[in-house]
């Protein structure tokens, strides 16, 4: 009986412990901001790794998602004689939902997993200990720049995803299926509101960026210093990030739209 | 002022209640000496270094470093103490994303406001002192194990620390690299008037360069003395270790436990 209660309680206590540790880590990162501001080159390096190197996967994925939306939308709307609103459908689907969600998940898969693996390996090879002994706080020098780089990158990548997606949808709807270009763009312009849609999309992406980056650095720091430990943490980063993004998306959508 | 740079008094440490690592150990590290800490794998040698550098805190006892009780020190005091010590990790722990130059310049960038010219001179001097001039543009992945450890030594020496700690610096090295590192440790200690703590299980080298040896087993100090005293001690564990004998007080087999007995059907859980 005691074992049963323990086995039920253990995951809950682990989850609470993880939440506490993550919150403390976030607090330490925020306290590191003055240090980071004096060394912008640390963030620029992380922006390159997390943001610039993710451009291709984000742009190509956005393009294909937009093409699929254009194709599916055109076929469905044609049945109701409403092909003219294809531009609105593609743009709103991307800006409100698919752009922020898929960008964050793609970011977690490409950059987030990389961040976790790098920190995990630094821990396993005693690089973080070496930094500590040199009286350099790894949170300030390594963790905070990676976190901030991620938080800045995700909204920008989301805007890129949205842009490529809209161009992909336009390519299928207008160039391949023959919808009038003027109708496509004017319908989109009419239905997309800057504050309600685009600003909210950026806010969503920013919040996803905070969560995904925090999960990535936390998993790296808490990984066991073995090959298996680093591998497990990398997997956890992608899984936890995807779940967090999808759950948060529901909550944010309920409040925003 | 105390004649010891480091003093451990009745220090105990455990990661958790089931895993006692150190039990009531006391050590004195005098200024300017090379003090070796020896013992079998898992006896707690590296834990002693972690306690001295403040990476972990003792559960009980007192550790004095540079005249300050570090068991009660706050983070700022610990940071100040750490700038006076250098540590060479077992496999170097070089930053893999930085070149040799940037690795050695790392502590200088973090703790000084020296201009580039001065940093260049210091890095060149440190590389010269470990016999690796001209490697500044290489990355850690391009270095052999022995070279990586010498670069790590150069990095640890960048701020001319008063105390150098070496965590098994001879592990996995060929005889030439091993003697090179040993010679460097001795030379740096003597020329720079440093104090050295050397954690190792390499007996011949330690006997040659150490001034004093602490011998540990199961988290306790079981023998101590000069190399001469240690080599003639009658302590059976020390003799077994020095002579590399399979049979003796050092257990070769892991102790049987409850789950193993259950596995064999001797006991039910």
The reply to whether A5 falls in a domain is no
> What count of Cα atoms within 13 Å lies in the side-chain half-sphere of residue B94?
29
Closest CB to B110 among A122, A133, A134: A134
Q: Does A133 touch chain B (CB under 8 A)?
A: yes
Q: Does B95 touch chain A (CB under 8 A)?
A: yes
Q: Does A130 touch chain B (CB under 8 A)?
A: yes
Give the nearest chain A residue to B165 (CA atoms).
Answer: A133
Three-state helix/strand/coil letters over chain B: CCCEEEEEEEEEEEEECCEEEEEEEEEEEECCCEEEEEECCCCCHHHHHHHHCCCCCCCEEEEEECCEECCCCCHHHHHHHHCCEEEECCCCCCCCCCCHHHHHHHHHHHHCCCCHHHHHHHHHHHHHHCCCCCCCCCCHHHCCHHHHHHHHHHHHCCCCCCEEEEECCCCCCCHHHHHHHHHHHHHHHHHCCCEEEEEECCHHHHHHHCCEEEEEECCEEEEEECHHHHHCCCCHHHHHHHHCCCCCCCCCCCCCCHHHHHHCCCCCC
The reply to whether A34 falls in a domain is no
Q: Which residues of B touch A133 (CB under 8 A)?
A: 53, 55, 82, 85-87
What is the number of domains present in chain A?
Answer: 1
Q: What is the mean pLDDT of residues A233-245?
A: 96
What does the pLDDT look like over A15-45, one tens digit per residue? 899 899 999 999 999 999 998 988 899 999 9
Quote the minimal CA–CA distance from B234 to chain A in Å.
37
- Using 50, 70 and 90 to split pLDDT, how confident is the model at A14? confident
Contact between B127 and A167 under an 8 Å Cβ cutoff? The reply is no
Contact between B61 and B88 under an 8 Å Cβ cutoff? The reply is no
The reply to whether A48 falls in a domain is yes
Model-wide pTM > 0.80: yes
| Whether pLDDT at B235 is above 60 | yes
Neighbouring C-beta atoms of residue B157, cutoff 10 Å = 23
DSSP 8-state class, residue A225? S
Give the nearest chain B residue to A35 (CA atoms).
Answer: B110
Q: Which residues of A touch B94 (CB under 8 A)?
A: 127
Q: Does B85 touch chain A (CB under 8 A)?
A: yes
Give the nearest chain A residue to B108 (CA atoms).
Answer: A134
Residue B236: per-residue pLDDT: 79
Give CA–CA dist A90/A67, Å, rounded.
9
The reply to whether A151 falls in a domain is yes
Give the nearest chain A residue to B107 (CA atoms).
Answer: A134
- Using 50, 70 and 90 to split pLDDT, how confident is the model at B267? low
Quote the minimal CA–CA distance from B86 to chain A in Å.
7
Alpha-carbon distances of B221 from A28, A200, B26, B192, B218, rounded to whole Å: 38, 64, 8, 29, 8
Contact between B189 and B164 under an 8 Å Cβ cutoff? The reply is yes
What does the pLDDT look like over B63-120, one tens digit per residue? 999 988 888 888 888 888 888 889 998 888 999 999 999 999 999 998 888 899 999 9
Q: Does B55 touch chain A (CB under 8 A)?
A: yes
Give the nearest chain A residue to B49 (CA atoms).
Answer: A133
Q: Which residues of B touch A121 (CB under 8 A)?
A: 96
Query: Which token pair is A191?
Result: 């239905």
B191 versus A148: the higher-pLDDT residue is A148
List the domain range (segments joined by +) for residue A211.
41-256
Choice among A166-170, A211-215, A251-255, B16-20 with the minimum mean pLDDT: B16-20
Cβ contact, residue pair A126, B94, below 8 Å: no
Cβ contact, residue pair B82, A126, below 8 Å: no
Task: Count A/B contacts: CB-CB distance under 8 Å.
Answer: 45
How long a stretch of residues is chain A?
Answer: 257
Tell me which residue of A110, A106, A116 sits closest to A146, measured CA to CA.
A116
Q: What is the mean pLDDT of residues A102-116?
A: 96
Cβ contact, residue pair B89, A126, below 8 Å: yes
| Whether pLDDT at B244 is above 80 | no
A55 versus B244: the higher-pLDDT residue is A55
| Whether pLDDT at A108 is above 90 | yes
Closest CB to A125 among B53, B82, B93: B93
- Using 50, 70 and 90 to split pLDDT, how confident is the model at A182? very high
The reply to whether A22 falls in a domain is no
| Whether pLDDT at B269 is above 60 | no
Cβ contact, residue pair A135, B110, below 8 Å: yes
The reply to whether A28 falls in a domain is no
Token look-up 């150190």 returns B22
What does the pLDDT look like over A88-106, one tens digit per residue? 999 999 999 999 999 999 9
Contact between A213 and A147 under an 8 Å Cβ cutoff? The reply is yes
Q: Is B250 left (phi over 0), alpha (psi -120 to 50) or beta?
A: beta
Query: Which token pair is B267?
Result: 């006991």
Q: Which residues of B touch A125 (CB under 8 A)?
A: 91, 93, 96
Question: What rounded mean pLDDT belongs to chain A?
Answer: 94
Alpha-carbon distances of B90 from A183, B53, B162, B171, rounded to whole Å: 68, 15, 20, 7
What does the pLDDT look like over B135-171, one tens digit per residue? 999 999 999 888 898 899 899 988 889 999 999 888 8
The reply to whether A66 falls in a domain is yes
Quote the minimal CA–CA distance from B95 to chain A in Å.
6
Which of B48, B75, B95 is the best substitution to test chain A (most A C-beta atoms within 10 A)? B95
The reply to whether A203 falls in a domain is yes
Q: Does A136 touch chain B (CB under 8 A)?
A: yes
């Amino acid at each position: 009986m005691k074992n049963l209660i323990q086995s039920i309680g253990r995951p809950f206590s682990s989850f609470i412990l993880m939440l506490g540790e993550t919150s403390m880590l976030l607090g330490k990162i925020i306290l590191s901001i003055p240090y980071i501001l004096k060394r912008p080159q640390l963030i620029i390096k992380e922006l390159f790794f997390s943001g610039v190197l993710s451009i291709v996967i984000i742009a190509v994925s956005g393009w294909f998602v937009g093409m699929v939306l254009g194709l599916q939308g055109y076929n469905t709307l044609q049945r109701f004689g409403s092909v003219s609103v294809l531009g609105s459908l593609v743009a709103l689907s991307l800006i409100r939902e698919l752009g922020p969600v898929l960008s964050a998940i793609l970011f977690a898969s490409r950059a987030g997993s990389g961040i976790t693996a790098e920190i995990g390996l630094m821990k396993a090879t005693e690089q973080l200990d070496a930094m500590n002994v040199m009286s350099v706080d790894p949170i300030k020098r390594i963790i905070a720049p990676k976190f901030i780089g991620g938080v800045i990158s995700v909204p920008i990548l989301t805007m890129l995803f949205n842009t490529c997606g809209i161009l992909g949808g336009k390519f299928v709807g207008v160039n391949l299926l023959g919808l009038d270009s003027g109708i496509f763009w004017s319908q989109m312009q009419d239905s997309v509101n800057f504050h309600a849609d685009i600003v909210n999309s950026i806010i969503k992406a920013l919040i996803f960026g905070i969560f995904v980056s925090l999960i990535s650095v936390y998993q790296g720091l808490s990984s066991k210093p073995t090959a298996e430990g680093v591998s497990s943490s990398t997997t956890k980063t992608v899984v936890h990030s995807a779940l967090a993004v999808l759950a948060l998306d529901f909550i944010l959508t309920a409040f925003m739209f | 002022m105390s004649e010891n740079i480091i003093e451990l008094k009745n220090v105990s440490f455990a990661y958790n209640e089931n895993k006692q690592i150190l039990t009531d150990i006391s050590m004195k590290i005098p200024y300017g000496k090379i003090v070796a800490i020896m013992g079998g794998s898992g006896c707690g040698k590296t834990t002693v270094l972690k306690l001295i550098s403040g990476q972990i805190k003792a559960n009980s006892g007192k550790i004095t470093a540079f005249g300050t009780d570090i068991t009660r020190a706050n983070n700022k005091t610990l940071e100040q103490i750490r700038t006076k010590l250098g540590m060479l990790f077992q496999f170097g722990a070089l930053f893999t994303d930085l070149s040799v130059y940037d690795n050695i310049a790392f502590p200088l960038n973090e703790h000084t406001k020296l201009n580039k010219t001065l940093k260049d001179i210091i890095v060149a001097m440190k590389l010269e002192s470990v016999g690796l001039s001209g490697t500044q543009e290489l990355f850690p992945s391009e270095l052999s194990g022995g070279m990586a450890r010498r670069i790590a030594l150069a990095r640890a020496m960048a701020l001319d620390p008063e105390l150098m700690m070496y965590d098994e610096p001879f592990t996995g090295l060929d005889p030439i690299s091993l003697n090179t590192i040993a010679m460097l440790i001795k030379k740096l200690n003597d020329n720079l008037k440093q104090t050295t703590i050397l954690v190792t299980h390499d007996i011949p080298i330690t006997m040659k360069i150490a001034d004093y040896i602490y011998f540990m087993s199961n988290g306790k100090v079981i023998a101590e003395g000069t190399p001469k005293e240690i080599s003639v001690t009658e302590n059976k564990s020390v003799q077994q270790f020095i002579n590399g004998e399979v049979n003796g007080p050092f257990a070769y087999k892991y102790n049987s436990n409850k789950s193993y007995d259950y596995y064999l059907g001797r006991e039910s859980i």
